Copies of this chain bind each other. A is one copy, B any other.
Amino acid sequence: MIISIKLHATRAEIDAVCERIADFGYKVHSIEGEERVVIGAVGTGDVTACLESLEAMPQVEKAVRISAPYKFVSREFRDSKTRVRANGVDIGGDEFVMMAGPCSVENERQILESAHGVAAQGAQFLRGGAFKPRTSPYDFQGMEREGLKLLRKAQEETGLGIITEVMSDRDVEMVAEYADILQIGARNMQNFALLKELGKTSRPVMLKRGLSSTIKELLMSAEYVVAHGNPNVILCERGIRTFETATRNTCDITAIAVLNELTHLPVMLDPSHATGKRSLVPALSRAGVAIGADGLIVEVHPNPEKAMSDGAQSLSMPQFGAMMRELKPYVELWKATRVEEAVTA
């Protein structure tokens, strides 16, 4: 920790800060400039508590943490990339992963058609929500357990892995029965009761970045799951909220590169929510492959205009097929880079 003291603080006030730091078990290093005193605190202890206590002292101008607040998810803890295995596929490995399917499970025919369609184009996972977080209480809230059963059926027919959302700590166990990957929506990224519960299952978890969450907070939420016992966490950039309204969200694509520096966890991109507009999905998907995401999760619907949700951002089957063909050479370049990195490392 680095603590800067206000100008014109008295010696007694400075000493009080030093004592407080020592109380928390840290060693004090004082740097006295001509104008200002800055104090370094070295050692191990309860950083947050110490920081908050110092910040509450009126003579303290600012107290800043130097070390990262997360541990298990950091590159410093584990240098080589984590591979999260689900339904026989490694996410974070040598294969670019494609998850695709409708926003919501709507009925048997729709989900089976979706599953066969995306499988034929080379997807490894079927996405589809049985529990739907909707801004309005009057909108379709999902088929719940019935939807989960239909996803299971789709898996039996196609062999696709299943990724689906869980919205409450109460439902983790039930959803884990049906899903290969538990998806946590952006609005639940800091639902700490849910995160703790996810630590108790061994099912892989895909954590979507919150609309106004920093990269650091995303890592802290992942740390929750890992610290509570489940190391199988996948991160997902899906756009953040900014002042721009031309797109549904603003894709912070650089976050993928930043995360690849900071963490060993796999990182996916959701170009559908990031843009909210079908026509932009293929271009952003290319960018996602190029910047080094481990995979994409894309909304695809057999009949977007009849979709019960998110039709405007869903690709039709032919559009998805065209995109998969277009992505192929980019995925080849991606693979070559992965192999090269593996050789270098």
Contact = CB atoms under 8 A, between A and B. Distances in A.
Interface of A: 2, 4, 7, 20, 29, 31-36, 38, 40, 42-44, 48-49, 52-53, 55-58, 64, 66-67, 69-70, 76, 133-141, 167-171, 187-188, 190-196, 210-212, 214-217, 220, 223-224, 227-228, 240-247, 250-258, 260-261, 274-275, 278-280, 283-284, 286-292, 304-312, 314, 329-330, 333
Q: Interface SS of chain A: helix, strand, loop or mixed?
A: mixed
Nearest to A167: B193
Contact of A134 (B76, B192, B311): B192
Contact of A291 (B244, B286, B308): B286
Contacts of A40: 31, 38, 40
Contacts of A135: 69, 190, 217, 220
A56 to B, nearest CB: 3
Given A52-B311, A333-B329, A258 B247 contact: yes
A137 B228 contact: yes
8 contacts: A49-B308, A52-B310, A55-B311, A135-B190, A212-B212, A246-B255, A261-B279, A289-B290
B139 A48 contact: yes
A56 B329 CA distance: 29
B169 A170 contact: yes
A244 B259 CA distance: 13
Given A137-B227, A169-B168, A312-B56, A42 B33 contact: yes
A115 to B, nearest CB: 20
Contacts of A261: 279-280
Given A212-B212, A240-B250, A252-B244, A52 B312 contact: yes
Given A35-B67, A214-B246, A254-B274, 4 more contacts: A49-B139, A251-B252, A261-B279, A283-B290
A262 to B, nearest CB: 8
A195 to B, nearest CB: 8
Contact of A214 (B32, B137, B244, B292): B244
